[in-house]
A and B are shown apart, each in its own frame.
Chain A
Amino acid sequence: EAGVTQSPTHLIKTRGQQATLRCSPISGHTSVYWYQQALGLGLQFLLWYDEGEERNRGNFPPRFSGRQFPNYSSELNVNALELEDSALYLCASSSGFPPGQETQYFGPGTRLLVL
Chain B
Amino acid sequence: DAKTTQPTSMDCAEGRAANLPCNHSTISGNEYVYWYRQIHSQGPQYIIHGLKNNETNEMASLIITEDRKSSTLILPHATLRDTAVYYCIADYGQNFVFGPGTRLSVLP
- Chain A contact residues, CB within 8 Å of chain B: 4, 31, 33, 35, 37, 42-45, 48, 50, 55-56, 88, 90, 92, 94, 99-109
Given A101-B49, A103-B49, CB of A31 within 8 Å of CB of B94: yes
- Could you name 11 residue pairs across A and B whose Cβ atoms are closer than 8 Å? A35-B98, A55-B94, A88-B41, A101-B49, A101-B93, A102-B93, A102-B94, A103-B49, A106-B44, A109-B41, A109-B42
Q: Which residue of A lies closest to B92 (CB)?
A: A100
Interface size class of B (residues with CB under 8 A): 20 to 34
Asked if B86 is an interface residue, CB under 8 A from chain A, the answer is no
Which of B46, B97, B100, B101 contacts A45, CB < 8 Å?
B97
- Beyond A42-B100, A104-B46, whether A56 also contacts B41 by CB under 8 A is no
A43, B42: Cβ atoms closer than 8 Å: no
Contact indicator B98/A42 (Cβ below 8 Å): yes
Produce 1/0 per residue, B4-48, CB < 8 A to A. Answer: 000000000000000000000000001110101000011111100
Contact (Cβ within 8 A) A33 B94: yes
Q: Is B30 a contact of A56 with CB atoms below 8 Å? A: no
